[in-house]
Each structure stands twice: as structure tokens, then as C-alpha cells.
Amino acid sequence: MDLAQETGKSENMSRSERLLDLIQILRRHRRPVSGRTLAGEMGVSVRTLYRDIATLQGQGAPIEGEAGLGYVLKPGFMLPPLMFTDEEIEAIVLGSRWVAKQPDTRLSAAATDALAKIAAVLPDDLREGLDTTALLVGPRTGPTEGIDLSLVRQAIRNERKLSFLYRDAGGSASERMVWPFALGFFDKVRVVAAWCEMRQDFRHFRTDRISGLNATDMRYPRRRQALLKEWRTTLDNPRR
């Protein structure tokens, strides 16, 4: 490969992306593979390939071997959190910023903390991209709920029943006992998907219409994944 070809490839791929690709290529080879072969698959010079391997080894990747003998990645290696592409960084930042603006205060704080933990282990060049990304989240609009959404999330995780007072679009109120299995976050509202004991069917409850929320210790009689699967089936095949 000549210098012009490698320069062209470098312009389209950041160094972090190249290192990630090298890890993935090594994972495909269970036996030692030569540097020249790896360089060919990467589309870089052998010298660049050796430099990248040295970088990964310095970051703790268990790559064994040496020039002339070939290289192999020891099985069981997990990618460190610093191995993100530019677009993965943007996705993480955008998602975290969106969650941080949700009314679920504990989930919002968790998103901010998670982003800070990721930033702490990123190399300087990627950390700069984390801080300066131009992807922004607009202000949150829509009604605000008066319940603690963390209680809903906990009930879903633990497969526990919830009781509450629910007001429909017309203002009529009814007491409900439900088996919550999903919480949907939309642009303006949050919705609990659950099996409703009163209706004996799946129902969707807007969280801004819920009051008097009570998280019970009663486990509902079916597994959450089974409810979720059946609910998805009803969406694909709505009742007439």
C-alpha cells in the first residue's frame, strides 16, 4: 500500500475506529496471524499496524506475538470502555443528554453519572469529542407527572403489582391494580404498559394521569418477559 492510499483511508477513519477494527479482526483469527496479513485486512501499512498493536497492548489488550511470528488475541478479552468510534461517542452523549432531561430524577442523575464515568476513562482526543459534540437535546415539553417513576421501574424489575388512581382523557377516575412490564418514554409523555386486573387485558397508562401510586410487595403470577411477548403479539395482531 502506498502513502496516498493509506492517507486516504486515514481521512475516513479515526484512530479510535481503526483500533476497534483491529480488535475485531484479531477476534476472527483463532491462530496467530502475520502483521502483513493484518495490515492488508486493515488497509494500512505494516508499520502503522505494528504501532497500533503496541498501542492496544499498552492499553491492556492481551495481544500475544511479535513481528515475524504473528499475533493472536487471547480469548475472553472484553473491550475497554475507551474503545468507541466517533459515532458511538455521539450516540452515547445524545442518549445520555436526552435521559438527563427526563422527569425521572433518579434515572436523570444516573445518565449524568454514567457519562462522567465514561469520560474519566477516555483518552484526551475522545474526551474532547465527548465535551464538544454538536448534538443537542431541546427543552422538555408536555405534561409532568406527580409520581415517582423510579417506583414504576423498580416494580417492573421485581415483577411486583402496582395500585393507583387513574383518570382517563375525559376525567373519569378509577382504581387500578396492574402488572407493569414496560415503561415507554415518548417526546411529551411517559406510558406504563401493564396487564390490568380490572379490565382483564393489556392497557397503557399515561403517567401524568396517575395519582396515589402504591408499590406493593405482591409478585404478579406471570413472568415479565412472557407478558411482554404476549403484549407485542397483540400489537401485531390487534383484536377486532
Task: Classify domain 149-236 by CATH architecture.
Answer: Roll (2.30)
User: pLDDT of 37-47, one tens digit each?
Assistant: 999 998 899 99
The predicted pLDDT at position 79 comes to: 56
User: pLDDT of 174-193, one tens digit each?
Assistant: 999 999 999 999 888 999 99
Q: What secondary structure, in 3-state letters, does the chain show?
A: CCHHHHHHHHHHCCHHHHHHHHHHHHHHCCCCECHHHHHHHHCCCHHHHHHHHHHHHHCCCCEEEECCCEEEECCCCCCCCCCCCHHHHHHHHHHHHHHHCCCCHHHHHHHHHHHHHHHHHCCHHHHHHHHHCCCCCCCCCCCCCCCCHHHHHHHHHHCEEEEEEEECCCCCEEEEEEEEEEEEECCCCEEEEEEECCCCEEEEEEHHHEEEEEEEEEECCCCHHHHHHHHHHHHHCCCC
The predicted pLDDT at position 1 comes to: 43
Domain boundaries, the chain: 3-73, 86-132, 149-236
Topology (CATH level 3) of domain 3-73: Arc Repressor Mutant, subunit A (1.10.10)
> Which segments in the chain show pLDDT lower than 50?
1-12, 81
The predicted pLDDT at position 10 comes to: 43
The predicted pLDDT at position 77 comes to: 67
Tell me the pTM.
0.64
